Structure formats: structure tokens, C-alpha cells
Structure 1
Amino acid sequence: MGTVRQVQITFDCAQPGRVARFWCEVLGYVTEAKDDDPSAAASDPTGAGPRLYFQRVPEGKVVKNRVHLDVRVGTGLAGEERLAALQAESDRLIALGATQVQVLLADEENESCIVMQDVEGNEFCLD
């Protein structure tokens, strides 16, 4: 059996086009999503990142995600410099329709991160 080399991340959602466009803005991905399509996809134009797939489902989100994306905006940064970069990205994403849920400050084991929700309430972290 061969080794899997690529993955696609799938989102269940009510408005696939809207959610796809949000994630394209977050990650610099591209899509041709329309609001009335039952599904949409977003891809990294460089080919480096995974494809994101958005499918319409009838039920709404009711519990916390078991899997989430970490948007790596603070890589290599620490302390106040890291927190400032995370907050700047949080502000940009809030303007796109995201919600900031919680700021987790650095401790002895982990650097700071910010828990966010996308336009349909799916959790993700700015890391």
C-alpha cells in the first residue's frame, strides 16, 4: 500500500460559497465559489497547502470542533512581539467576519495563541 501524500480538509456548512471565500481571504487561497452552489473548494495557488472543501449540510453546528486549523502567523516570534502579530491578524479576520473567542497567554509550556471562529462558528487558532 502506498503512502498518502496529500490531504483535503472538509468543512460541513450552511453556505459553502461564503465560507470558502472567507478561508481564501485568510490563507491567500483561490476559489470560484458561488453562494447557491451546494459545495465549493479552495486551493493554495502555490500548491503547497491542502485543498479545502466546503459542503452544504442541513444541520447547523452544535458542538465544539474535534479538529481545527491553526493559522500560523506567529511562527518564530515570542512574547509581546508574537502577541502583537496575533492580535493584528485577529483584527484583520474580524473585519472579514470572524469572531475572537479567547486570547491564551504564554505560560511555561506554550506560546500565546488566539482562539477564533470563522463566519459559521467553526473554531480555529491563530498560532
Structure 2
Amino acid sequence: MASVKQFQVTFDCADPQRVARFWSEVLGYVLPPDQTDPASASCSDPTGVGPRLYFQRVPEGKVVKNRVHLDVRVGTGLVGEARLAALEAECARLLPLGAVRGNLLLADGVNESCLVMQDIEGNEFCLD
């Protein structure tokens, strides 16, 4: 059996410092105190459970839909109106940070409701 490997999630972006601050607010992650390199930034889970997020400057902008995205789990265990209320409350918290609301995908009998959003550089993520 293979051992579990640690991993980080890497974002290509135009402004690594700004995107790192956004995601640290979304997830409750912390930024390193000495982070000043304009070409890269990171944030990490203060409990050590979640993966480190790394942000690297690239010259090209985002063009198409992400092939991988983060699901921010705010409605775990909730269904129906309670789940929708949790998704909407988190959306309301994230909009002033620069997030953009996308489509609300309602429960369909197989999947529970989720809310598609974008971060400050247009990367899709879901409130799930």
C-alpha cells in the first residue's frame, strides 16, 4: 500500500499576494509573516490538516474554465432550505472580499445544492 503524500494546490495568477490574501480569508488560512516576493505567495491551514496553497505569477491570464477547482465545504450534512441558507450566508461573506457569484445548482436527487463562484482572478470554486 502506498503511503499518503502531502500536497499543495498551486494557482497560476497575475497577483500572487492579492490572491493569497483572498484565499486565506475564505478558508481561515494564515499567511507567512515575511511574504514579500511579488512573483509568488502562499497560505496554509493553521491546524496543519488542509493542503498548503501556493500562488505563482504567470504572464497569461485565465482563458477557459478550470479543470480542477476547490469545493469550500460550508453545507456539509445540511439539506434543503438549511443548506441553501448556509450557501447564501457564505456567499454574502465572500462577496465583499471580491468573490463573484455564479450559478446556484439546486439539488437534483443525486447531488445536493451547491453555489458556483469565482475568486478575484476568475478561478471557479464551489460553495458545497
Secondary structure at 2:60 match in 1? coil
User: 1:24 maps to which residue?
Assistant: 24
User: 1:116 maps to which residue?
Assistant: 117
CA deviation after TM superposition for structure 1 residue 5, in Å: 2.1
Counting matched residue pairs gives 126
AA in 2 matched with 1:6: Q
Structure 2: runs of 5 or more not aligned: none
CA deviation after TM superposition for structure 1 residue 97, in Å: 0.3
AA in 2 matched with 1:116: M
Is residue 2:100 matched to residue 1:99?
yes
Query: Take 1:46 and 1:108, find their aligned partners in 2: how far apart are those partners?
Result: 35
Secondary structure at 1:26 match in 2? helix
Secondary structure at 1:17 match in 2? helix
Measured on the aligned residues, the alpha-carbon RMSD in Å equals 1.3
User: 2:52 maps to which residue?
Assistant: 51
User: 1:87 maps to which residue?
Assistant: 88
Higher mean C-alpha displacement, 25-34 vs 15-24: 25-34
AA in 1 matched with 2:76: T
User: 1:8 maps to which residue?
Assistant: 8
Q: Deviations over 1:4-28 (max 9, x none)?
A: 4211000000000000000000000
CA deviation after TM superposition for structure 1 residue 47, in Å: 0.2
AA in 2 matched with 1:118: D
Query: Take 2:62 and 2:31, find their aligned partners in 1: how far apart are those partners?
Result: 23
AA in 1 matched with 2:9: I
Is residue 2:100 matched to residue 1:69?
no
CA deviation after TM superposition for structure 1 residue 108, in Å: 1.1
CA deviation after TM superposition for structure 1 residue 3, in Å: 2.5
Secondary structure at 2:9 match in 1? strand
Structure 1: runs of 5 or more not aligned: none
- Give the TM-score normalised by the residue count of structure 1: 0.95
Secondary structure at 1:100 match in 2? strand
Q: Deviations over 1:41-98 (max 9, x none)?
A: 1100100000000000000000000000000000010000000000000111011100
